[in-house]
A and B are shown apart, each in its own frame.
Chain A
Amino acid sequence: MTTKSWRETVPGGWITEAGNALNYKTGDWRSEKPVYIPENCINCLFCWVFCPDDAILVEDGKMKGINYDYCKGCGICARECPTKKKALIMEDE
C-alpha cells in the first residue's frame, strides 16, 4: 500500500523503477494453487522457465517450491511439468 501524495506520482503513471512488481504481492488473485510434490520432481526446471511471474523458488539449480506471494495460479507450471507422475498439481485454493 503506497501512501504517496498525488503530487509525488510520476505523470501518466509511468513506472520508472525497474522490477518494482516485487513490491506488489499479487498472490491473493489466485483461485487455484499449484502444489509441489518433491518426490516426483526431476529438477528439469520447466516450471521455472514457463512461470510468467517469478513464483518458482530455485536454489542451487534445484526446484524448491512455490512463492505464493506472487503465484496467481495460472496453472502453466502444472501443465508443463513433464513427469508421468506430476510434480506440480493444481488444487482449489
Chain B
Amino acid sequence: MRQKVTLTGNEAVALAMKQLNPDVVAAYPITPATEIVQIFSTYVNDGLVDTEFVTVESEHSAMSATVAAASAGARAMTATSANGLALMWEIVYIAASNRLPIVMPLVNRALSGPINIHCDHSDAMGVRDSGWIQLWSENSQEVYDNTIQALRIAEHPEIQLPVMVCMDGFIISHAMENLEILPDQAVRDFIGEYKPQKTLFDLENPVTAGPLALTDSYFEFKRSQAEAMIQAKPHILEVAREFAQTLGHEYGLFETYKLNDAEVGIVVLGSTAGTAKVVVDKLRAQGVKAGLLKPRVYRPFPAEELVQALGHLKALAVMDRADSFNAFAGPVFTDIAAAMYGSGFETKLINYIYGLGGRDVGLDDIEKVYKHLTRIADTGEVDKRLNYLGVRE
C-alpha cells in the first residue's frame, strides 16, 4: 500500500496534514515553515480537507486559536519556525499545561539576532522545557512518519500532551528527497476517529478550561502534568510499533548507527546525523571504531536508555546546534552529561556547538570531531569540554 514520491520536507508535512485532515488549522507564515500552511491552504481551497483554516494576525494568535480549537474538542494543528515560535511562547506553555493534544511541525531556524532565516535548533531548545513532546527528524521520510505518529501520541489517553515535530529548516524543509507515503485512507485508519477526552462543546457537562490555580493547587497540577511526560515513553513506542505495521519503518526513542562496539561516538539531532553516518562509514573502513546516536524523542528525555546505549564509549561528543550562552555547554550536552552522572560509566564527554544560523557542516567537520574523540580515548584526558565547530577563529 506504499507509494514512492519525491517531496521536500515542507511538502511531506503538508501532505501528512492533508491525510490527518485536522478540524482546525490556525497559522501565520514564517520562513522556512511558510510553505507548509501555504500548501495546506490550497488543500482547504480545493475542498480536499474538512479543515476550518484560520488566518490569524500573529503567531501568538495562531497558538491561541489552536489552543481554543483543541479545548473545544477539535483536532487542531499549526506550524511555525524560530521567531514565530518565540512569539507563541506564552501560549506554548498553556497548550501543554491544559493537556491539549495539539500537533505542531516546527521547522528549525535560528532565533534573531542577527536576523537569520537558516537552520539551527535555538527555537526548539528554547521550548524544550515547555511540556511539549519533541520528535526530531533526519529527513523528509522521518518528518512525514513523525507527523502522523505525533497525532496518535498526542491523543493517547494516557499522554494528552502537545507534540512538536522538528525538522531542519531548508536542509530538510526545502530539499527534495524520495520517500514512501501511505494512501489517505491508511492514515485515516491509523489515526482513527477523534474522541476528545474533554470539550467545551459538551453542554450537558459544562467545563472550564484554563482557570486560576494559586498556592494551594498549582503545584499539584504541575506534578500531574510532569507525570504525563514521565509515563509517555512506553506509549510513544507503542504507537511506533503500530506505525511499523503500515510502512515498515521502525522507530524508537533514538537511532543508533554502528554504536554497539564503538569506542568513540557522537550524539547529533536532525539532518547532520545523515552527514555523520557517512563519516562513521569512512572511519570504520580505516579501522576506527566510530559510532553514532541520533535522538528522535528528545522530550520526554530518555535518560536511562541513552546512558545504556552510550555508557560503553571511551569518548563521546554531544553536538548542539544551539548555544545556551551559559559559559558551560549546549542544551543537549547538559542533558546527556546529567544523565551520565552517577551511572558508573566513565565515558569522557565533550560538547561541540555547530551549524549556528545555517552554517554548513561538512564531512571534514564531523571527521575533526571524531579525531578529537580518538585523542581523548587514547590519552584518557579531556583537554576542552566546550568546543565550537566550523566558526572562523
Contacts and interface: CB of A to CB of B under 8 A. Distances in A.
Contacts of B211: 13-15
Could you say which of A13, A14, A15, A18 has the most chain B C-beta atoms within 10 Å of its C-beta? A13
A16 B204 CA distance: 11
B8 interface: no
Contacts of A9: 217, 220-221, 224
A14 B224 contact: no
Interface in B162-211: 197-198, 205-211
Interface of A: 1-2, 4-7, 9, 11-16, 18
| Number of chain B interface residues as a range | 20 to 34
Contact of B209 (A4, A5, A14): A14
Contact of A11 (B160, B205, B208, B216): B160
Contacts of A18: 206
A13 B213 CA distance: 8
B97 interface: yes
A3 to B, nearest CB: 9
A2 B215 CA distance: 10
B99 A15 contact: no
15 contacts: A4-B220, A6-B219, A9-B220, A9-B221, A11-B160, A11-B197, A11-B224, A11-B225, A11-B228, A12-B160, A13-B211, A13-B213, A14-B207, A14-B209, A15-B208
Contacts of B209: 12, 14
Contacts of A7: 224
A4 B223 CA distance: 12
Contacts of B213: 13
B98 A13 contact: yes
Contact of A13 (B197, B205, B210, B228): B210
Contacts of B104: none
B72 to A, nearest CB: 13
B228 A2 contact: no
Given A9-B217, A13-B210, A15-B211, 15 more contacts: A1-B216, A4-B217, A5-B220, A6-B221, A6-B223, A6-B227, A7-B224, A9-B221, A11-B99, A11-B160, A11-B224, A13-B97, A13-B98, A14-B207, A18-B206
Contacts of A6: 219-221, 223-224, 227
Given A4-B220, A9-B221, A14 B97 contact: no
B100 interface: yes
Contacts of A16: 198, 205, 207
Contacts, number: 52
Nearest to A19: B206
Interface string B252-281: 000000000000000000000000000000
Contacts of A13: 97-98, 210-211, 213, 221
Contacts of B227: 6
A93 to B, nearest CB: 20
Interface in B52-102: 97-100
A14 B208 contact: yes
Contacts of A15: 207-208, 211
Contacts of A14: 98-99, 198, 207-209, 211
Contacts of A4: 217, 220
B207 to A, nearest CB: 5
A24 to B, nearest CB: 9
A18 B99 CA distance: 20
Nearest to A5: B220
B208 A2 contact: no
A90 B324 CA distance: 52
Nearest to B228: A11
Interface in B222-262: 223-225, 227-228
Contacts of B99: 11-12, 14
Nearest to A7: B224
B207 A12 contact: no
B197 to A, nearest CB: 8
Contacts of B208: 14-15
B32 to A, nearest CB: 32
A12 B100 contact: yes
B88 to A, nearest CB: 18
B220 A12 contact: no
Nearest to B220: A6
Nearest to B208: A15
A1 B219 CA distance: 13
